[in-house]
Structure 1
Amino acid sequence: MATYEEIRSLAHKEPVIVDLPPVSSVYFTDYEIYSNVQSFEENLFDPDYLFESDVIIDSTERSPKYTNLECDFNPLTSELDSVIDWSSPDDHDQLRDSLQIQSQIKNLVVEKSSAEVVVLLAVDGLSFETIQQVSDYWPLETETLPVFADGATTTSEGFRRLFYGTSIESVHSMMATRKGYLSHQGYLQWSQNESTEPTSAFTSMNERNIVRGESFDTILKEIETEGSVTSKTYIQIVRDGLSRDTYPDVLDRNEAAKELIDDTVRLQKLLETITETAQIFLTAGHGLLWQEHIEDTWRIIDDSETHHPRYIETQHDTEHGLTKRTAQGNTVTGLAKPFLTRPLQDDEVAVSGGFSYHESIIPFVEVSK
């Protein structure tokens, strides 16, 4: 199995054929990458074509004329921060082209839904890396996809993209009109400041069908209530993530992630007792940048207009971030890693709002009975 460095080294000597994992192209921006042998050879045998860089053929094809490699390189690690310029729109476009994007998750949920009961479980803060680190803990069969949060990594904007995408039609509405899930339930578990509650996630639902639960146990008891789940039911759950408000004493995020998995498994087992088939889709509004990921490298930009360490709530002329328009028509400038508006406080174990591997790459996990 060839590593990233070995691929670069061999491709410097002659063209290589290798099936690169998604996103890998961002590690080879100084190479010409072809999708098949034919397209490469069209240029190779064109006397007027001049190759300006080394060549990689990203394909499952095999040819005795070229070096054929197998790759075990994992591009989705914190190394992504070293090759992605998070303040560059072009680099954001590269990720959009390479990964499932958050603003299309609602379409993915609708497309995949086929069970009698479908649950979309959305966590406020959860990174793809965290779920990957505890992937062996799942006792159920799961499929996990990396997702690019294609916008500001704040709670409000993340949930807006997740539940509404780029339109005003919610995933709940699509499930009803396109898949026939006419029965619906909404649950909110929120221990953070009430003013930060993501109530907009439920605006398309009947208020009578929305329950606020102090704990996940409360939500499970509500779902277990006789007659609450009928045929073709869509359930939407929004809950706290791994922020300091939820886990103030838990610095080991893997243990917190295991607790989320335990709750998801309990939900699946409950659904097995009340319906023939069930699907759970677990995802996040945004990821989290933990203090340990930035504490030795952070750089402070001078801005007195904000108290948020990772974003500025206005259009801001800075080369260290990217300005995005919010659903309300306002602008927010998220900062690229490792920039902050101010030093992190001791109790700011994890932050979000900017752009980085940990904030912007989130999981989408499908759990099926």
Structure 2
Amino acid sequence: MKAIRIHEHGGPVQLAIDDIAEPGAPGVGEVKVKVEAMALNHLNLWVLNGMPHIKQDLPFIMGSDAAGEVVEVGQGVDSVVVGDRVILCPIEFDPTSPEALAGEHSMGKGFRMRGEHVNGFDSEYTLVKEYAVRKIADTVSYPDAAAYGVIFLTAWRMLASRARILPGETVLIHGIGGGVSIAALKIANLMGARVIVTSGQKWKIDAAERAGAVAGINYKTEDVAARCYELTGKQGVDVVVDSVGGSTWPISVKTVKPGGRIVTCGATAGNDPPADLVRIFWKQITIMGSTMGNMREFTQVVELLNQGKLAAPIDKVFKIEEVRFAYEHLKGEDQFGKVVLEWS
């Protein structure tokens, strides 16, 4: 079978379409899936370039988002059958860990990600644990499902489980245009919140407003904190969704209202900004970290996908032979939504 692999770290030129052995029969509690579509995340770029704190065994199969058809099931599998159309979750965990037993699968010692810590989904066939497979409705295409998983699970945990946003609250989302930020916008809208977004590109702000944001702020030409106070009657926002870090962090701390919440899932612009402790304790801000999600949350977001209540916007679909162009497109940050790869 074919697989997208890297043999060394670097730019998109390192991506190769290799012929490798197809995985054998699934073991106990495993499912074999014929992968039909895959999606890229910024995580792919970090893995491609090399991550100082995580070492991949090379050659390494890329990819953390995929959807396809069940072709074989292992002993004990009863939630799916051959022929089912499914979405895959990249989470693996130690089911005996205290965290997993408590239902917090992304917090346990054995937590790891396909496509980051171990080989990913970007191959024609893959084996996956039964707990990480969910059926998708016939109305959901494979590209739509592949584009959905990581970003909506991440954003759902941030907003529904961690920040617990309420109808009528105002949410500030930094850096609209990326997958997680768009998913957060859609989820916040679904939950009845008012959403303000930021971007350095007007066309992305316009797209976000068409998607339901009440306002957009160009951080290159406007004072984000001052504009947020203007938009909230000088109250500040209830919740900040910050997956950017770096220069956005002081803005987040300054903009959130007294007693408000900041939830963070990433630090693409820097992981060590000034903490601004005085504002944090004086305003009594709650700061929450969030990583991926658990299996209960994955079930919840897939149900919303199947019901047609949430969907991932797809920016562009590439054929597998165009994988290097797909990564270059992702690097350019001129997309609004997900970049998808298809085998056929």
Fold match by TM threshold 0.5: no
Per the normalisation by structure 1, the TM-score is 0.34
Between structure 1 and structure 2, the one with the greater Rg is: 1
RCO higher in structure (CA 8 A, sep ≥6)? 1
